Chains A and B, each alone.
Chain A
Amino acid sequence: MQIFGVPTQALFGQLLLGLINGAFYAMLSLGLSVIFGLLNIINFAHGALYMTGAFVAYFLLQGAGLGYWWALLLAPIIVGLVGIVLERSMLKHLYKLDHLYGLLLTFGLALVIQGLFRNQYGSSGLPYGIPAQLTGGHALGFMFLPNYRAWVVVFSLTVCLGTWYVIERTRLGANLRAATENPVLVQAFGIDVPRMIMLTYGFGVGLAGLAGVLAAPMYQVNPLMGADLIIVVFAVVVIGGLGSIMGSIVTGYALGVVEGFTKVFYPEASNTVIFVIMALVLLVRPAGLFGRGQ
């Protein structure tokens, strides 16, 4: 069976791969968006913390014998705590300065974190197995669906939509959005804005850590796994429009799928297609597809 001269196996295979990549784009750009909304900082360390999440999963298994499901719970918390320490000790001092200093600081942090892991573990990957419950797969007739990949897509979608619900539909989220608009006024209402900022940063990087755990069984645990990914995610964020929650999620998945299809029809462009789309979006809508202006 073929569609546009491409075997359906290949087509759906790339579609699934695109959805997987999209899941990581969405989770990472969601975290970046939440952080940017409140802190006005583009967190360059996001890719390094995603990698840290994968390594925490690896350490939990090697050091404490705690498997995938424990890692899924503990790694985001640990990475989130690392984020909170970074925010309290360094980022906190930059809020009054130009936003670009936040970018430069987190870029430096990313170099430090990646450098330390590379010194210790080299640049070849460390293996991390797929949990026993999710090995194998299903033959769907038009394609083979590995269970773990299906799980990644479903789980990440749940997390993204859950985050969206909390921010857009709950009282906590309302406070958060209000603090994004006018922190001084919100503080005057008796809400502890600095604590909220701290927890938001912790939550955002915790999402990155969670994505790292999800990635660990599929890609090897590698000190550089976040370094190039984060630049693509930046482009995703520009396309979606910074600060838009739903925008990040939709753009993340959509671009993953577009990238997957490009691999089928014009593989040479698969690395650059997201950047080309970014250029086109900028021409038409400089604030991004879902952005509200700068």
Chain B
Amino acid sequence: MSAPSASAGAPPGVARGGIRHQVVAFVVMLAFFAVAPYFIYPVFLMKALCFALFACAFNLLIGYVGLLSFGHAAYLGAAGYASAHAAKEWGVAPEIAILFGTAVAGALGVVIGALAIRSRGIYFANITLAFAQMVFFFSLQAKFTHGEDGIQSVPRGRLFGVLDLSQTMNMYWVVVAVFIIGFLIVYRAIHSPFGQVLKAIRENEARAVSLGYRPEQYKLIAFVLSATLSGLAGGTKAIVFQLASLTDVHWTMSGEVVLMTLLGGLGTVFGPVVGAFIIIMLENVLSQLGDWLTVVQGLIFVGCVLVFRRGVVGELGRLLRKPL
């Protein structure tokens, strides 16, 4: 996707100088997480954090490889089911359950990614959407997912056998830790030589090939990394809410993560986090209004595409003249 890169991505040479500002922003974010649970309902924060990680993982593909996946719900949902099943039916510890879900999402990412990265642009979006729909129908029909009911009352268990996660604040700090780990993995990936190659492929694939890189390999690694981290978000979400359901595999969820990332700012480091918090907050506020929520989400989509393509953080970064 060349357009957002031109508008939202870091101009060449500025990236190095911008890192200090990103560290400042990161510290601000950490401070917010430390203070927030004393003012805001922690369950809301945990939900927002799971989606923030999901959106960061998604942004890795759209923002830095220029691939729009319209089927990221598949990884979130599949990991949710796997983690919930492991925790409930096998009775494993929560960390094992989450890791298992993450691994399932990663494996799914390998299979779907290997097929999907052969195409680009609109085709890529269509293909990932279709595969996600396959995962949805599988989840609808398979026995262990319990169809419309989903996997309910999943035990949170004890982390490493000691920390009781049924205590809300314990769970909260674990979710914060998971989010930070995921966030730093994405951050490291996009600021590494690997990430530079990804950006090179996004900007000009033919030139990247002529320089001796194999775009397929880089794209596949990025795809699998994105799917795996989406799985981390999904597994954690299933443990937090003690539920894995069809909502998380449905295509509306794939659309929602696109919306979060678009609103926050495609190809920005903090955009997906901000976008996820705004959208989850909006859902909380508008939950009384039922279907108006869909209308509002649609209008945000339209508004973002027509007049606000840099997103919140992208615009902020432009005002400060620093990539955030």
Interface residues of A (CB under 8 A from B): 36, 42, 90, 93-94, 97-101, 103-105, 107-116, 118-119, 231-232, 234-235, 237-238, 242, 268, 271-272, 275-276, 278-279, 282-283, 286, 294
A122 to B305 alpha-carbon distance, docked (Å): 28
Q: For residue A97, which residues in chain B have a CB less than 8 angstroms away from its CB?
A: 3, 309
Q: Which of B1, B125, B138 has the most CB of A within 10 A?
A: B125
Q: For residue B134, which residues in chain A have a CB less than 8 angstroms away from its CB?
A: 272, 275-276
Contact indicator B306/A98 (Cβ below 8 Å): no
A111 to B133 alpha-carbon distance, docked (Å): 18
With known contacts A100-B122, A118-B294, A278–B302 Cβ distance under 8 A:
no
Taking the complex as formed, is B141 at the interface, i.e. its CB lies under 8 A from any CB of chain A?
Answer: yes
Contact indicator B130/A112 (Cβ below 8 Å): no
A271 to B138 alpha-carbon distance, docked (Å): 9
With known contacts A90-B302, A100-B125, A234–B255 Cβ distance under 8 A:
no
* CB proximity to A under 8 Å, residues B116-132: 118-123, 125-127, 129-131
Besides the contacts A105-B302, A119-B290, A271-B141, what 5 more A-B pairs have beta carbons closer than 8 Å? A99-B121, A101-B305, A231-B129, A235-B126, A278-B127
A283 to B118 alpha-carbon distance, docked (Å): 9
Name the CB-closest residue of A to B297.
Answer: A111
Name the CB-closest residue of B to A117.
Answer: B291
Contact indicator B305/A94 (Cβ below 8 Å): yes
A-B contact pairs, 21 of them (CB 8 A): A42-B125, A93-B306, A97-B309, A98-B121, A103-B122, A104-B258, A104-B304, A105-B301, A107-B301, A109-B298, A110-B298, A115-B293, A115-B298, A118-B294, A234-B130, A235-B126, A242-B122, A275-B130, A282-B118, A282-B119, A294-B121
Contact indicator A231/B133 (Cβ below 8 Å): yes
A118 to B291 alpha-carbon distance, docked (Å): 7
Q: Which of A36, A97, A107 has the most CB of B within 10 A?
A: A107
Contact indicator B305/A294 (Cβ below 8 Å): no
Identify whether the interface residues of A are mostly helix, strand, loop, or mixed: helix
Contact indicator B262/A104 (Cβ below 8 Å): yes
Name the CB-closest residue of B to A122.
Answer: B291
Contact indicator A100/B138 (Cβ below 8 Å): no
Contact indicator B3/A98 (Cβ below 8 Å): yes
Taking the complex as formed, is B137 at the interface, i.e. its CB lies under 8 A from any CB of chain A?
Answer: yes
User: Which of B251, B258, B295, B306 is within 8 Å of A115, CB to CB?
Assistant: B295
With known contacts A119-B291, A272-B137, A294–B130 Cβ distance under 8 A:
no
Taking the complex as formed, is B68 at the interface, i.e. its CB lies under 8 A from any CB of chain A?
Answer: yes
Contact indicator B118/A275 (Cβ below 8 Å): no
Contact indicator B294/A98 (Cβ below 8 Å): no
| A24 → B minimal CB distance (Å) | 17
Contact indicator B126/A237 (Cβ below 8 Å): yes
Q: For residue A234, which residues in chain B have a CB less than 8 angstroms away from its CB?
A: 126, 129-130
| A228 → B minimal CB distance (Å) | 8
Contact indicator B291/A286 (Cβ below 8 Å): no
| A98 → B minimal CB distance (Å) | 4
Q: For residue A36, which residues in chain B have a CB less than 8 angstroms away from its CB?
A: 122
A137 to B135 alpha-carbon distance, docked (Å): 39
Contact indicator A115/B292 (Cβ below 8 Å): yes
Q: For residue A278, which residues in chain B have a CB less than 8 angstroms away from its CB?
A: 127, 130
